[in-house]
Amino acid sequence: MFGRIATANGLVVLGFAAAALATVSLSAIKPAETGAHDHHAMAAATNAAGARPASTTRRLSCQPLADIPGKAVTTVVVTYPPNGYTPAHRHPGTVTAFVLKGTIRSQLSGGEPVLYKPGETWFEPPGTVHVFAENPSATETAELLAVFVADENCGPLVIPEPDFH
């Protein structure tokens, strides 16, 4: 039911639990309550003027993990406008992505591009280059919930890879 996944030390279970909880409560969250934060700004900055629209992010939460000192779980909604695009980047921790609406086409380093639909997921181990993610629709918005397990300071979650080919 959840589509394509890979596991690493059981962190996917945490990602699914957070994804399910956040999916149920997304409609009740107002932007002013989320601590709106666009951590894709650095990646979006690599798009030249006139390029495809960039994805935007909205942080929902960042909570230290009591049983894993120095780490936190952060939930973020990533919105892709029609034809929206995120260029090559990586993350400092693990990521589980859960598609909420629309279709997302995504490629991780060493893999083929894959189309993900609502309810499907993928997992990114720490440091994996995410070659791109895009909304292939010219008319519909797409959204995903990203669940990160990274350093507890809730700092930057996206590291641009402008020279990746």
pLDDT digits (tens, 9 = 90+) for 16-28: 444 333 333 333 3
In the chain the domains, ranked by start, together with CATH numbers, are: 11-152 (2.60.120.10)
At 154, which amino acid appears?
A: C
Residue 165 CB partners (closer than 8 Å, separation 6+)? none
Model pLDDT, residue 45 = 43
Model pLDDT, residue 50 = 53
At 93 the three-state DSSP class reads: coil
What is the torsional sign of CA 29, 32, 37, 38?
A: positive
What is the torsional sign of CA 58, 63, 67, 71?
A: positive
pTM for this predicted structure: 0.72
Compute CA distances 104 → 62, 79, 129, whole Å: 24, 10, 17
Residue 162: pLDDT band (50, 70, 90) is confident
Model pLDDT, residue 99 = 98
Residues 152/70, Cβ–Cβ less than 8 Å? yes
Cα 32 to Cα 41: distance, rounded to the nearest angstrom: 19
